[in-house]
C-alpha cells in the first residue's frame, strides 16, 4: 500500500511574476522506503518537499499521505497531522542554541504530550545514543560541531516516531565523511523503525544508495529510478 500518492501536482508562485514551479508531478511512495529527490538548483526540489511536508498547501492536484488528502485542510488540522506524522530535518539544523541537546530533542514530544516527561527523556537519550551523540546530551546545543548538531536535529525529527522523515539537503553543510555517516544513520533508523525517508540531495553518491530517486528538471519529473 502506498504511504504517499502525489497526483498531477502543479504549483505556481505569483510573486514577483506568475511562474509555474512544479508541472504535473505524479509519483507514489511505499512505506519504509528511502526516497531521494534530485535535480539542478532551481528545479523545484524544495518547493515539492514543502508541499509534501504540508507546510505549503497552495497547489493544484492531489497529495495523499497515509490515506489523507492534504489539499483544502485548515492550518490547525495540518499542524496536528505534521506533529504526529512528519519529522523534518533542515540543511541548517535550527537547534535552539541556548537549550541543552537533550532539551532540544525532547521539545517536539513535550508539545505533543503523548507520554510522561520521564519517558520522553528516556527516549530522547536512547535516540542520542543511537546517533552517537549521547555524551553531549547535557551540553548546550551551540557547543557542538556542525556534524554533531545535525545528528541532534535528526534525533529531534525522530522523537515523535513519525511515519515520514523529510530532509532538505540535511547533509548539505557537512563534509563528505559526515554526510555519508548521517546518511547511514537515516538508513539505519528507517530500517529499524520502518520509517519512510524523503530526502532532497544533490549528492549523487547518496542518491544512488536510496531505494528510489525522483529526478526533477524545470519543475517536471525527468526520471524516476527504482533500485
3-state SS, residue 8 = strand
Helices (H) and strands (E) counted in the chain, each on its own, are 7, 10
Residue closer to Mg ion (CB basis): 46 or 100: 46
**At closest approach, how far in Å is the CB of 18 from ligand ADP?**
10
> Which of the ranges 38-46, 54-62, 85-93, 209-217 carries the binding residues for Mg ion, by CB under 5 A?
38-46
- Choose among Mg ion, ligand ADP, none what residue 11 binds, the Cβ cut-off being 5 to 8 Å by kind: none
Residue closer to Mg ion (CB basis): 195 or 201: 201
**At closest approach, how far in Å is the CB of 51 from ligand ADP?**
10
List residues near ligand ADP by CB under 6 A.
13, 15, 21, 39, 41-47
Radius of gyration, CA atoms only, the chain = 17
Residue closer to Mg ion (CB basis): 131 or 166: 166
**Residue (of 1, 53, 95, 41) closest to 198 by Cα position:** 53
Show contacts with Mg ion in window 43-72 (CB under 5 A).
Answer: 45-46
- Choose among Mg ion, ligand ADP, none what residue 13 binds, the Cβ cut-off being 5 to 8 Å by kind: ligand ADP
- Choose among ligand ADP, Mg ion, none what residue 215 binds, the Cβ cut-off being 5 to 8 Å by kind: none
Instruction: Decide if 18 contacts 192 (C-beta within 8 A).
Output: no
- Choose among Mg ion, ligand ADP, none what residue 212 binds, the Cβ cut-off being 5 to 8 Å by kind: none
Q: CA 37, CA 49: separation in Å to the nearest integer?
A: 9
Q: What are phi and psi of 85, to 5 degrees?
A: -120, -15
3-state SS, residue 213 = strand
Residue 91 binds Mg ion, judged by CB under 5 A: no
Residue closer to Mg ion (CB basis): 42 or 194: 42
Q: CA 18, CA 55: separation in Å to the nearest integer?
A: 21
- Alpha helix locations (H) across the chain? 45-52, 75-85, 101-112, 117-130, 146-158, 176-193, 204-208
Residue closer to ligand ADP (CB basis): 32 or 91: 91
Residue closer to ligand ADP (CB basis): 43 or 196: 43
Return residues touching Mg ion (CB under 5 A): 45-46
Amino acid at each position: 500500500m502506498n504511504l504517499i500518492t502525489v497526483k498531477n501536482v502543479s504549483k505556481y508562485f505569483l510573486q514577483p511574476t506568475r511562474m509555474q514551479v512544479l508541472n504535473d508531478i505524479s509519483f507514489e511512495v511505499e512505506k519504509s522506503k528511502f526516497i531521494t529527490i534530485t535535480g539542478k538548483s532551481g528545479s523545484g526540489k524544495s518547493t515539492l518537499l514543502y508541499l509534501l511536508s504540508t507546510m505549503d498547501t497552495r497547489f493544484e492536484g492531489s497529495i495523499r499521505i497515509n490515506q489523507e488528502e492534504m489539499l483544502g485542510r485548515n492550518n490547525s488540522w495540518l499542524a496536528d497531522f505534521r506533529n504526529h506524522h512528519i519529522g523534518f530535518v533542515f540543511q541548517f539544523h535550527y537547534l535552539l542554541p541556548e537549550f541543552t541537546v537533550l532539551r532540544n530533542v525532547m521539545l517536539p514530544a513535550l508539545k505533543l504530550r503523548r507520554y510522561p516527561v520521564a519517558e520522553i527523556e528516556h527516549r530522547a537519550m536512547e535516540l542520542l545514543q543511537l546517533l552517537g551523540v549521547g555524551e553531549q546530551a547535557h551540553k548546550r546545543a551551540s557547543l557542538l560541531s556542525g556534524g554533531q548538531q545535525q545528528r541532534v536535529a535528526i534525533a529531534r525529527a525522530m522523537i515523535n516516531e513519525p511515519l515520514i522523515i523529510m530532509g532538505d539537503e540535511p547533509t548539505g553543510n557537512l563534509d563528505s565523511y559526515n554526510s555519508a555517516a548521517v546518511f547511514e544513520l537515516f538508513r539505519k533508523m528507517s530500517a529499524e523503525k520502518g520509517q519512510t525517508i524523503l530526502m532532497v540531495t544533490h549528492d549523487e553518491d547518496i542518491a544512488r544508495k536510496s531505494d528510489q530517486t525522483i529526478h526533477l528538471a524545470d519543475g517536471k519529473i525527468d526520471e524516476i529510478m527504482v533500485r
